[in-house]
Chain A
Amino acid sequence: MANRALDGVGGFLDDRFRGAKSFRTLFKKIFPDHWTFLLGEIALYCFIILLLTGTFLTFFFQPSMTDVIYHGSYTHLDGIRMSEAYASTLNISFDVRGGLLMRQIHHWAADLFMAAIFAHMLRIFFTGAYRKPREVNWLIGIVLLTLGMLEGLFGYSLPDDLLSGAGLRILEGVMQSIPIVGTYLAFFLFGGAFPGHLIIPRLYILHVLLIPGLILALITAHLFIMFHQKHTQMPGKGRTDKNVVGAPLYPYFMAKTGAFFFFTFAALALASTFAQINPVWLYGPYTPVAMSAGSQPDFYMGMLEGALRVMVPWEWNVAGHTFSFNVFLPALLPLGIIFTAAALWPFIEQWITGDKREHHVNDRPRNAPTRTALGMAVITFYGVLWLEGANDIIADHLNIALYTTTRIAQVSMFVAPVLAYIITKRICLGLQRKDLHLLEHGVETGIIRQMPSGEFIEITRPVSEEEQAKLAFPARPPGLPAPDSADENGIPAPGTRGAIGKVRARLNTILTESVELPGSNGHTNGHGADGSGQAQDEPEHAAVPAGGVPDGSQEIAPGAGQADSGSSGDDAPDQ
């Protein structure tokens, strides 16, 4: 009977659209599996949930700043002057059945959306999944993150409560600080002096139409590209840059991802049932005269808030004009630099390593120590400013003087990232040495045996094929030719000539610093000869025997190989 339905419906459609072949290909598409691949899906499902709940909210929300006197169900605010926007938000919360639930799901979904995008992006970065051919999707992701931040900011400004009004006031102040055009920008956005009567309707149309439209278009492009290029996969047995290993879309991935959509929705519904979010009725309507202490923006804005707080009062007056460095520098610079650097990174890395190959098997973060360390440094910088964005609350809870928290942040925003870089790099190199040890000596089984000589030894077993494939996936990007290498005619290798070439060679040494693991099977299957041009191994890492494990072999005898893997390391933090 399934076939009758197939013939009927499928036949009807195929008669008109000729889809049998393409849909067969679609259904058979292979999706690799790894839990971190779910992060992007969470973001996608949150967006769908935002569309659904947001549409519900539009049926009741009034994006108007016209003054009304409130006489609704929330009696604490009875008789108070407020904007229609705020009154309708109270109405959604107290007089529309399910309205509060939808508002809360919408807000929780917005937070989860942003959190998932951040986490997704970090996953892509730390596993090197942005590398060729996926640079364009990486760029789309950064634009999506930016749009998400704007969309969220505009969204939580809509209810026009005391908290969101303060957020808008800050937005206006920041815009005004921009040299030359700032005042005009602010006046055009707000339709005159702050607050005016236009900002809520304007933000509304941006929030419900323009930005969601852009996000939808970009998500579509993002998914199409992903679909066309196929997922990356984590290193493992039989996985190479030339294949993709997993289960087909139909029925496996469809069912899994459907389940995951339900999990996401359930988690948001649970949060919205038991954890109150943005209780705007407690804040009261916006008035430019009042402000409550301890107010916080949504978490994805916290870093900007912290940047404003940490800045020193630096302002210039030159020839009748004011440079408010204290405002526009922290508002634009830290996030601007991070996003720009993130956008350029795939290309910078490509230039430094000279690696123009396609990559479909991800790096384990430890196997790219410098990249991982850089990422951790940026996270730390962001984290310090993010915490500073809540410094009053931290000071309160930890009983530290308020000003002390800011001074700590002022120092640690420079020091902590450097420390994070150094520590992360050491940890990565240490983990790599551990992997090397495993590959060479096998896995310790915990079984102790006494030798005839009376000596005790621990029995080890060789790493399994699966472990071997995972551990030994190529650890280092292909190197440039050494800076001073020359071919037989004495001509230096291209790309390393001149001052820029020297810088590039130096950066390359730093970026490719790594413990070399033997037996990079999967790697050599995938690539031609260009992968092996690594002439400039740093001497301290050269202790690994060149022919340690032949390509593709799985057997490593216990105790075989190098006598002491520690000899390959300078100052391994572990072992």
Chain B
Amino acid sequence: MSETNGHGELPDETPDETPAGPHRVIGTPPPAEARTLLGGREPDGDRPAPRELPADPADLRKAKVAERLVAACFIVAMLAGIGFIAAYIGLEVHSVDAVLRSNLALGTSLSVAFLGLAFGATIWVRHLMPEVEITEARKPLASPAEDRAAFAETFTEGADASQFAKRPLLRRTLIAATLPIAVAPIVLLRDMGPLPGTSLRHTVWRKGLRLVEDVSNTPIRPADFSSPGGMITVIPEGYQDDDDALAKAATIIIKFAPGELQHPTVLNWTVDGIVAYSKICTHVGCPVSLYEQTTHHILCPCHQSTFNAPKGAQVIFGPAARPLPQLPITTDAEGYLVAQSDFHEPVGPSFWERG
């Protein structure tokens, strides 16, 4: 669209381009101008103020070309804008393919519209506006000493008149009056949530509650495992729609060959080499969801804490400080896996009261 100009960057006065415009130092103006600037007297009609910005760019032929280019950019932008509206009206959504088509059309037309405006405006500034470089003096930021002194005087007078300094009783009671009110908003936040109590110490697991497979919600018999193998995510039966319960109760089970499970895994809490651990990482609570069958390592995808499955899910790498708690399991009368009880320690991330 504008291969001759712009190149997508804003003008950046290169030092070797000689400024076409005047170089005026505003800080050191001729006396007449000084009055306008400092005294605020607007220039009067009979003696117009000298021009500060030139009216025309240096190279008028180049400017003519630039003008056409800018107009072309703006026309492209206008057409793209019309295209955007057309695409909105013409293209339906409601399916993945349709959405992608619509996104492409809307996005492209919007981009082109903005690019047209951007390139147009850039060429305009760079090649149509006369170049100027103006030097303006900075005033010191600090007020002059007399202004400060005057302010201090006003302030002191006001303070005296208010009697604030003179009457400590008023001062102190005022402060005393505002303090409780200042604390009130914090007190008001108290009902944002219940107190934790012991809720972090328990999950919904209890004696006899069945372990069901996540998603399919089917109970599990030890015999369903033909051989030792992968990791299965289980949840307490009947809680599949209760995220609050699942956030603590999600559990994994892994079947091991006889003799593979070792201390500190509690063997009494396992059934036929099947062991159940909390799925909630003891670091900051992500569900541990990767299992490497060859090494028997359970890996948390969040910060890569790694737990040794056959040895009580002890931490062998990563920032987690505690093993995954083990859920005591057994089978019920129908031969399905059930919990013997809740976890014997809090699951998930540490907290201050955990101990």
Contact = CB atoms under 8 A, between A and B. Distances in A.
A322 B286 contact: no
A456 to B, nearest CB: 29
Contact of B284 (A100, A290, A308, A317): A308
Contacts of A244: 135-136, 138
Contact of B321 (A174, A245, A305, A315): A315
B4 to A, nearest CB: 16
Interface stretch (B5-13, B166-174, B265-273, B334-342): B5-13
B11 A81 contact: no
B304 A309 contact: yes
Contacts of B114: 262-263, 265-266, 269
A150 interface: no
A262 B129 contact: no
A101 B129 contact: no
A17 B243 CA distance: 59
A499 B301 CA distance: 51
Interface in A189-225: 189-196, 198
Interface residues of A, number: 115
Interface string B329-355: 000000000000000000011111111
Nearest to B353: A183
A195 B25 CA distance: 64
Residue among A196, A245, A291 with max Cβ neighbours from chain B (10 Å): A291
Contacts of B52: 28
A396 interface: no
B284 A248 contact: no
A74 B119 CA distance: 39
A252 B132 contact: yes
B220 interface: no
A23 interface: no
B76 interface: no
A196 B136 CA distance: 60
A521 to B, nearest CB: 15
Given A193-B244, A246-B133, A289-B214, A309 B118 contact: no
A179 B353 CA distance: 9
Contact of A293 (B133, B280, B301, B315): B301
Interface string A235-262: 0111001111111100110011011101
A173 B352 contact: no
A182 B349 CA distance: 12
Nearest to A166: B286
A258 B11 CA distance: 13
B64 interface: no
A317 B114 CA distance: 59
Interface string A307-336: 011111111010011101011001000000
Interface string A277-294: 000000000111111111
Interface stretch (B152-160, B188-196, B256-264): B188-196
Residue among B52, B283, B354 with max Cβ neighbours from chain A (10 Å): B283
Contact of A183 (B42, B189, B190, B200): B200
Interface string A22-38: 00000010100111001
A295 interface: yes
A90 to B, nearest CB: 11
Contact of B286 (A133, A170, A196): A170
Given A94-B99, A97-B88, A292-B301, A169 B321 contact: no
Interface in B235-287: 235, 241, 243-244, 246-248, 250, 279-280, 283-287
B121 A258 contact: yes
7 contacts: A95-B93, A173-B283, A248-B132, A263-B8, A288-B243, A290-B289, A324-B350
Interface of A: 20-21, 28, 30, 33-35, 38, 67, 73-74, 81, 93-101, 104, 133, 166, 169-170, 172-174, 176-184, 186-196, 198, 229-230, 236-238, 241-248, 251-252, 255-256, 258-260, 262-263, 265-266, 269-270, 272-274, 286-295, 305, 308-315, 317, 320-322, 324, 326-327, 330, 358, 360, 391-392, 402-403, 406, 464, 466
Given A263-B118, A327-B283, 15 more contacts: A30-B134, A98-B88, A173-B283, A178-B352, A184-B195, A187-B194, A193-B199, A195-B243, A245-B135, A246-B134, A255-B121, A289-B287, A313-B305, A324-B349, A327-B284
